[in-house]
Amino acid sequence: MSIPTPASCRVSPEAGTMSNGTGHYEKRLSDLAGLYADQTAFAALLAEGDRVVYDVTEFRPSEKAGDVIFGVTRMSPGRIGDEFFLTRGHIHAKSDRPEIYYGQKGTGLMQLESPDGETRIVEIGPQTICYVPPYWIHRTVNIGDEDLVMVFCYPADSGQDYGIIERSGGMRHRVVAVDDGWTLTDNTSYVPRPPEVAAALVGNAV
């Protein structure tokens, strides 16, 4: 019987990188089309170049139950109109799986939404641990003026459902800039999930 091999990965908070990763991907501005309210501002910024908004380096030893996947996310600062740069967001395909984020650099928010539409915000900064409980949809928002760098870790068999946000017309609230801070505003395109859909998400336990 073979067992997994121990490994070590070194994180650079300044560069937002991790050594010895098994995979890397990036999301550019064009990948985030449709997420922002101000489509004119989005098109104007995209015309200046399809910049990288965030990138992820991960260590994925397996996708078996009992294992974990971990890595580093680096998010650029920026805005589309009044909205800050953000990630696409997701719920885990096995929705009873949690996730941990550990802030390394910068200032950000974890925007969370329950299946029935409750919004919670957790602030993330250096040396801050954010716990995302099971069943919560979540996305990261960079509200600072420098890169936001976070370490993440979640059960290897979690999977991701990115379509859950799109199917509801976005998350219930938008994070927008106000004065020197941020606030939440209603997303007028939001469509609440039917009660049976919300119940099915909470019932999705293994």
pTM, whole model, 2 decimals? 0.95
3-state secondary structure at position 205? coil
Q: CA–CA separation, 91 vs 139, rounded Å?
A: 9
Can you tell me the mean pLDDT for 28-40? 97
Token pair, residue 124, equals 């993330």
Report whether pLDDT(175) > 90.
Answer: yes
Q: CA–CA separation, 35 vs 171, rounded Å?
A: 9
pLDDT at 1: 67
Q: Residue 2 — very low, low, confident or very high, per pLDDT cuts 50/70/90?
A: confident
User: pLDDT tens digits for 42-99?
Assistant: 999 999 999 999 999 999 999 999 999 999 999 999 999 999 999 999 999 999 999 9
pLDDT at 206: 45
Q: Which helix (H) or strand (E) holds 58?
A: strand 52-59
Can you tell me the mean pLDDT for 181-197? 96
Q: Residue 177 — very low, low, confident or very high, per pLDDT cuts 50/70/90?
A: very high
Contact between 21 and 59 under an 8 Å Cβ cutoff? The reply is yes
Q: What DSSP string runs through 125-174?
A: -TT-EEEE-TT-EEEEEE-SSS-EEEEEEEETT---B-HHHHHTTS-SEE
For the chain, how many residues are written?
206
Residue type for 36, please?
A: Y
Burial of 9 (0-12, 13-18, 19+ CB in 10 A): middle
Percent of the chain with pLDDT over 70: 98
Mean pLDDT for the chain? 96
Can you tell me the mean pLDDT for 28-39? 97
Q: Residue 203 — very low, low, confident or very high, per pLDDT cuts 50/70/90?
A: confident
User: pLDDT tens digits for 103-141?
Assistant: 999 999 999 999 999 999 999 999 999 999 999 999 999
Q: CA–CA separation, 110 vs 136, rounded Å?
A: 11
pLDDT at 204: 53
Q: CA–CA separation, 171 vs 165, rounded Å?
A: 6
pLDDT at 4: 85
